[in-house]
Structure 1
């Protein structure tokens, strides 16, 4: 797995790369990040942040990240950096997310946006350029990848698969945006998507459309089947479900003037066959489903710069979480593929420790389960033996 990122990402090597932002949440992180108060007047809804390495780690200090510390809260925090443009450059956004416990419902994504003078109000309504990372609410799970273009946010037409599985395990998210408008997404160094902004985000109008002037001919028949004109309802076909009871007679004491007109009671018709429908036969004049001819879209205009953002100046987390406990770490924003790969080694070293710990925990739980199962079986056997002994005493 360690060579996967190199094999996938090193398709273009930059002579000179630059790290625009990097954060491992070591000493002084509080000065680099700004807590948000966007839920003004509802401070009780904003969750607290803390640093933690989680229950499994290689080095408690080195592996400490930024953690959501409470349940049922909104979390919003961001950091600014010197604004830059990705024009003509690779853009790699990479970070770790570890769910210490299943969120049930909540996000684990980050936002990358334009420079903002006051990030104290960073939150749901703040404009962003890119939103990237896992999101879930019960059974609905996805990896978000949203790009802003022309003042609108565009979701990928088909959702990216969700890969944030396993409590206590760190996952590495890598977004690689290229000047040729192609996108590559990796989770845990494995590629889960590679494609084009033009094809998969519908940022541009379609190149071709159905001709609005093309109308279906009035004599066009698009019904494949038709009623058989030769099929006639049989003369003895009975469609009435109910019939007058032939055995019923008006009572002798019935007075039409006082009691009104007498109606004979009805019973189910024994000859009822249901509504008659003529059989269907193929329509000899059927021409198929009509479709308007396809013509070039006059509103289509290509844009070779879909990928480009002239102003990138902050990164932040703005999420809602039911259970909390998520740890974010090792964020890097760069145009250097090698720098992203180097940062990924931190995740790889940590994940090896987490996988080993998870395996040990699973094995211990399995042994404990089997031990408890054996103990229950032994108690059941003793109880049955005791019952048999008592039954023999009763017989004596």
Structure 2
């Protein structure tokens, strides 16, 4: 028995020391070489241009350099390819930082993950993607984090409202999708939302539906209270709401030929009791609110692979901005949650504080 345990130790050690898979990583640390890795679409001729910069304020001028939108009221369409992979039976982590230093009023700050079949030179708003994730702002009503999955050709938005950051500082966005069909969204390395894919997206038909054969019985009484049949309106109840003022006196200078027939002003009748209504009593036939019985939906089939995509091969910045100035940086796609968290701490976490501001960001 001891020999078996000893033999198992190397295997356990190997598992513990397994290196994370890094499918894509981009921190723009090699100057203009990013232009060889990122391809601008030619689908349109007037796409906006990205430039490499740390912006107007930063924690570290070199490490904080990222791709910044540089032209107002433009669509942007750049993408970077990487060796194709599948997240089947694996965790998928998508992470990047966004700094809206222009105090953005309307524009996207999200990324799209495409299959390797994407023709990067023709990427556009209708190009089919696997996942879209990140912040989107357009006026006070729209300040949300998109989490959209493509499932059987349909783009499905999360059914929850996840608020994004809307200040001028750098923020980190992380999406974790696990092979047990659970997910987590983090902002600045802290969880802001989590749950189950089937519960929070409309991937599948409902498990239960209302029984089409069931209907509320005709004699089903849902009234908790009813009029007391024994209660009768008093004979002296009916009184007018307004009556002539008994204290009013016709003015001495009233001329009926000139002023017409004098009528006293009206006042609220102190004996007026309002509309009579019989008192209420408990309904002896009350059965409660009728609940439509449900049955198993014959169109529902569970899918344990909602999380899974056979092919990832490109990350794209396919977005619109009214006022430019957003900086994208610290891109990471991996299968290791802990590595992603540590990577964020070592990159965004170190430079997020404006230690050496070029200008006052406010």
Q: Specify if TM > 0.5.
A: yes
Match of 1:29 in 2: 34
Is residue 19–residue 339 contact of structure 1 (8 Å, CA) maintained in 2? no
More divergent stretch after superposition (18-27 vs 99-108): 18-27
Offset of 1:197 from its aligned partner? 1.1
1:135-176, CA deviations, whole angstroms, 9 ceiling, x for partnerless residues? 2222232222111212222222222232x2432x21111222
User: 1:122, CA displacement in angstroms?
Assistant: 2.2
- SS state of the match for residue 347, structure 2? helix
Instruction: Report how far residue 268 of structure 1 moved.
Output: 6.8
Contact 1:106–1:137, Cα closer than 8 Å, also in 2: yes
- Report matched runs for 1:1-396 at 5 Å: 15-25=18-28, 26=30, 27-38=32-43, 40=44, 43=46, 46-140=47-141, 141-162=143-164, 164-167=165-168, 169-238=169-238, 275-337=275-337, 339-341=339-341, 343-344=343-344, 345-352=346-353, 354=354, 356=355
* Cα displacement string for residues 237-270 of structure 1 (whole angstroms, at most 9, x for unaligned residues): 44877999xxxxxx9xxxxxxxxxxxxx9x9796
Matched residues in 2 for 1:351 and 1:130: separation? 26
Distance 1:311 1:274 in 2: 74
Q: Distance in 2 between matches of 1:357 and 1:235?
A: 87
Q: Which residue of 1 aligns with 2:11?
A: none
1:52 and 1:65 in contact (8 A); partners too: yes
Task: Answer yes or no: is the 8 Å Cα contact 1:68–1:326 preserved in 2.
Answer: yes
- Find the aligned partners of 1:117 and 1:192 in 2 and give their Cα distance: 31
User: Aligned partners of 2:56, 2:26: CA distance in 1, in Å?
Assistant: 21
Give RMSD over aligned pairs.
3.5
Deviation of residue 276 (structure 1)?
4.0
Residue deviations 1:293-326 (CA, integer Å, cap 9, x gap)? 2332222211111110012122111222232211
State the Cα distance separating 1:288 from its structure 2 match: 0.8
Inter-partner Cα distance in structure 2 for 1:241 and 1:76: 72
Shift of 1:328: 0.1
Q: Would you tell me which structure has more helix in proportion to its own residues?
A: 1
Q: CA deviation at 1:86?
A: 0.9
Report the number of matched residues. Answer: 332
Report SS of the residue matched to 1:198: helix
**d(CA) in 2 for partners of 1:328 and 1:301?**
40
1:357 is displaced (CA, Å) by: 5.0
> CA separation in 2, counterparts of 1:198 and 1:338?
25
Unaligned segments of structure 1, at least 5 residues: 1-11, 245-250, 252-264, 366-396
What's the offset of the Cα at 1:67? 0.4
Deviation at 1:94, TM superposition (A): 1.0
The answer on whether the counterparts of 1:223 and 1:288 sit within 8 Å (CA) in structure 2 is: yes
Gaps of 5+ in 2: 1-14, 245-255, 257-262
Q: Provide TM-score, normalisation by structure 1.
A: 0.73
